[in-house]
Copies of this chain bind each other. A is one copy, B any other.
Amino acid sequence: MTDERRKFKREPAEARKEALILATLELVAENGVRGATVRGIAQRADVTQGLIRHYFSSKEELIIAAYEHHMNQMTDLTFAPGAAAGSARARLRAFVDGSLTPPVVDPRALALWASFLNKVQNDPQMKETHQRTYAYFRDRLEALIAAALEEAGHPAPAARLRQLAIACNAVIDGLWLEGGALPDAFAAGELVEIGRQSVAAITGLDLEQEAET
């Protein structure tokens, strides 16, 4: 009974790593990558700074791990809702909804995106992650549009599909951006409504109505 209180507790490696990554994302969202200091991250994770070096060989490595964690979470959140849907139109609609609803639309998610952008443009590994994620999004959207158009009896050539995907992706990105930048400027569901209408107008599809047979 020398000292009832232990000075620290050992944690499984993966749990500690994730805790450090989550603390990193918090601070990056608040203060940017350079503002997320090793000491600040350690404090946010209730740990001393030396421990970070024990799990990540440098701050750079921790930042990259945090970025990939964040990107994976965003894609999961966007695509989870529509995975089970049946018709292509329903899946397209679910994609729009998922992209324009919290927690995808969120000031913190936007802040993270902006904070990482600089490093993404310079660091090759982060650039690769970014381009892969972006291509995944747009290819998936293009496939959804193609399927929905065929389903409706209005198939489109590849060149037009590309333009439609770029345009729909842009309107979703823009609404996502504005929803994150001005969270109080839009009523609940307003972004989804505008997003659906815009994608419908651009593609010529009707996303609102249920099955048409």
What is A's interface to B at a CB cutoff of 8 Å? 30-35, 107, 110-111, 113-115, 117-118, 121, 131, 134, 163, 166-167, 169-175, 177-178, 181-182, 186, 193-194, 197-198, 201-202, 204
Contacts and interface: CB of A to CB of B under 8 A. Distances in A.
A140 to B, nearest CB: 16
A178 B182 contact: no
Given A201-B201, A201-B202, A178 B173 contact: yes
A38 B125 CA distance: 29
Contacts of A198: 167, 170-171, 198, 202
Contacts of A204: 201
Contacts of A115: 114, 117-118
Q: Is the interface of A mostly helix, strand, loop or mixed?
A: helix
Nearest to A182: B134
12 contacts: A32-B34, A34-B34, A34-B35, A35-B118, A110-B117, A131-B182, A134-B181, A163-B193, A167-B194, A170-B177, A174-B177, A177-B177
A115 to B, nearest CB: 6
Contacts of A134: 181-182
A160 B170 CA distance: 21
A187 to B, nearest CB: 11
A51 to B, nearest CB: 24
A172 to B, nearest CB: 7
A194 B163 contact: yes
A105 B163 CA distance: 18
Contacts of A35: 34, 118
A177 B169 CA distance: 11
